[in-house]
Amino acid sequence: MPANRLAPDIREGDDPGDVLAAERRHLALSRAALRTMREHARSLSADAAGDWVSQQILQALLEERVEALADHPDAPLFFGRLDRSADDDLPGTIHVGRRHIHDEGSRPLVIDWRAPVSRAFYQASPAQPMDITRRRRFGYHGGTLTAFEDEHLEGADGDAPAASRILTEEIERPRTGPMRDIVATIQPDQDDIVRADLGLTVCVQGAPGTGKTAVGLHRAAYLLFTHREKLARSGVMIVGPNRAFLSYISSVLPALGEVKVEQTTIAGIVGEHAAPEDPAVAALKGDPRMAAILKRALWLHVTKPTEGVLYTRGASRFRVADHEVREIVASLRGTTRYSPGRAALAQRLAHAVLVRMEQRGESPDDRVQDAVARSKPVKQVLDAVWPKVTPEQVLFRLLSDAEFLARSARSDLEPAERELLTWAKPPRSHKSAKWTAADAALLDELADLIERTPSIGHVVVDEAQDLSPMQLRALGRRCRNGSATVLGDLAQGTTPWSTRSWHAVLTHLGRDSGEVTELTLGFRVPREVLDFAARLLPEVAPELAVPRSLRPGAGSLSVRRAAAGALPGAVETAVREALGREGSIGVIAPDAAIAALSAALGTAGLEHGVLGPDSTGEHRLLMVPATLAKGLEYDHVIVVEPADIVAAEPRGLARLYVVLTRAVTTLTVVHAHELPAALVDGSPSAS
């Protein structure tokens, strides 16, 4: 890229070649300084710690520091520069990049994009220059600086920042492999979300291509930078829809210098259970009414005492009457979680026995009370009145015993709903039960009722519209003392329980006070493609605003009708055309058609990978089952047989909306069957 083409606003007298050469020298100096910082971190020893445990902790911290200082040669160390007019202790010129870099004299060479002073790079405008006289953006190819452009802010005309060709080209740059970070292209409305306070739960409704996933990841990186000590103790968790999605986003946080973030799925949190289930049953199990039903089911295991406690010590016998045992049980029930309540009952009964001992002139101590609490007479009362149970035992009884379900449900479920939940042929025991994905959330709810679930500092939840209320409750428990970033698109809901309201999602998370914000301006999906997919919105999510794209994308959409039996050949033709362009290619088809299409491409000599639930694959050309496409992006997308994608599941139109919005550069729709009616009017002619 010639520097002068991308630098229309160089100051009078500045030679663009000289400016570019100077910035390249600064880049080389910064890379050398980063290597020195990493070598210094690697040279540090954990031997200074006083004991073995401290040594292990310090060694882990040092290794984490070394990993965070790794250079990524294909990514720029800095992507912008700010010339400042503020009279303060900060440098007048700062380079903004992915991490802080300083030289041996502690002079900053690159300022972390998350630092407060760096906010001006994303937010400054002619109307509000924020003490910035000039903002410079850099163009890169791999890790090499190739161009720059300047924007003068103080004294400039207009309210909005000038259009940036470098920014546009970075957004449109073809990608291969995992997701890229967007740190160089963050827009002001995205930056507001990224830098929201740690204590605030933010819910982002984001249309396709608005960068909501990347915004959530960058908020995690920002919070870790700003609240390092607190979040190092409490932790940060990223929750994605599947393992393939997590693999796709895996490189973003390390590229930003953050390596200690747990990434998992809802199944990874509540349990990997996948037995098949009727969608209607699954939806009912995900209903928030189940929370109260499960609580009653658990506490119905606590029964009214019919006998007291008789404790023998030597020749002495000490009795606690049955009415006193009933009073103790009544005072504990409902005031604590189940398991701590059981332990407290044992101690209360033991204390009552000790009172009898003291009344006879004895002087028992705490050791005696603990011995009484563990004694057979007390244990017999515990097992009869407050038995030890597991989540699996409680749920097994609830789903296999119609009478017990009726007692637990009371008026919360209709008779037909109770019949739907009850197993027609129950397993022999809870140990042989095959649990479903919906059961996993119920088991997690019961586990929290028995023992309190630990909380972490911050949770980022992507594709949250697809989570059931009971799954959302499971996530809410894990940030009950922290906060969350909730990401999704109501139009892309594809599960039987997909939500229609973000306020309902926040309620189920236990975060009613959270803020809901909407991103409607897209940067990634071409306008022609987005407008085509948006024809489905009146049927999928009529309450949402129609998304807009900044990129016209003329010629980015092609819809092709194939003759009966000629579909594989039409797909092969589209694939060969896409291979002639730069960038990644995703062939998205109905799940049931993947094997046959893959075989056809193999026969045609087209090397490719097949996306599975656990990885994104390593191939430039990938076959993608429609059910795994959510959250992924490819430069060129070929969608095969939309009608079959729609017919494959109850919310098929929503699935098709997801599939049609995965393209960053071109979308080719290949079909032999009729297109869904909403897509037909005004669609481009077959080519």
CATH of the domain at 670: 3.40.50.300
Each residue of 81-111: pLDDT tens digit?
Answer: 999 988 888 888 999 998 899 999 889 999 9
Annotated binding site for ATP: 206-213
Arithmetic mean of pLDDT over the chain:
90
Domain that holds residue 535: 527-679
What are the tokens at 562?
């194939």
Q: Is residue 20 part of a domain?
A: yes
Q: Please state, as a whole number, how many other Cβ atoms lie within 10 Å of the Cβ of residue 468.
A: 26
For residues 486 and 503, the answer to whether their CB atoms sit within 8 Å is no
Q: What is the pTM of this model?
A: 0.86
- pLDDT, mean of residues 235-262: 84
Q: Is residue 292 part of a domain?
A: no
**Three-class SS state of 641:** coil
Annotated binding site: 206-213
Give the type of residue at 408. S
Residue with tokens 């929370």: 291
Residue with tokens 């407008």: 531
What are the tokens at 121?
């790079």
For 616, phi then psi, to 5°, come to -90, -10
**Three-class SS state of 265:** strand
Q: Is residue 124 part of a domain?
A: yes
Each residue of 518-555: pLDDT tens digit?
Answer: 998 887 899 999 999 999 999 999 988 888 888 888 89
- pLDDT, mean of residues 60-69: 82
Q: Is residue 257 part of a domain?
A: no
Each residue of 290-312: pLDDT tens digit?
Answer: 999 999 999 999 999 999 999 99
Q: Is residue 457 part of a domain?
A: no
Q: Is residue 1 part of a domain?
A: no
| Per-residue pLDDT at 687 exceeds 70 | no
Q: Is residue 401 part of a domain?
A: no
pLDDT-derived band of residue 1, with 50, 70 and 90 as boundaries?
A: very low
Name the domain boundary from 115, 138, 172.
172
Name which of 477, 112, 456 is nearest 261 in CA terms. 456
Each residue of 619-658: pLDDT tens digit?
Answer: 899 999 999 999 888 999 999 999 999 999 999 999 999 9
Percent share of the chain, pLDDT over 70? 93
- pLDDT, mean of residues 461-470: 96
Beta bridge partners of 151: 135
Question: Which pLDDT value is given to residue 440?
Answer: 97
Give the type of residue at 533. A
Question: Which pLDDT value is given to residue 194?
Answer: 95
Strands (E) located in 294-362: 309-313, 316-320
For 330, phi then psi, to 5°, come to -65, -35
Radius of gyration from C-alpha coordinates of the chain: 31
For residues 651 and 465, the answer to whether their CB atoms sit within 8 Å is no
What are the tokens at 196?
């929201």
Q: Is residue 66 part of a domain?
A: yes
Least confident of 216-220, 258-262, 348-352, 411-415: 258-262
Name the domain boundary from 150, 172, 194.
172
Contacts of 238 (CB under 8 A, 6+ apart): 216, 217, 220, 246, 249, 253, 261, 262, 263, 264, 460, 462
Each residue of 551-602: pLDDT tens digit?
Answer: 888 899 999 999 988 999 999 999 999 999 999 999 999 999 999 999 999 9
For residues 553 and 684, the answer to whether their CB atoms sit within 8 Å is no
Each residue of 477-527: pLDDT tens digit?
Answer: 999 999 999 999 999 999 888 998 999 999 999 999 999 999 988 878 999
Name the domain boundary from 324, 353, 386.
386
The 3 state secondary structure assigned to 287-298 is CCHHHHHHHHHH
For residues 441 and 470, the answer to whether their CB atoms sit within 8 Å is yes
For residues 69 and 97, the answer to whether their CB atoms sit within 8 Å is no
Each residue of 311-322: pLDDT tens digit?
Answer: 999 888 999 999
Domain count, the chain: 3
| Per-residue pLDDT at 281 exceeds 90 | yes
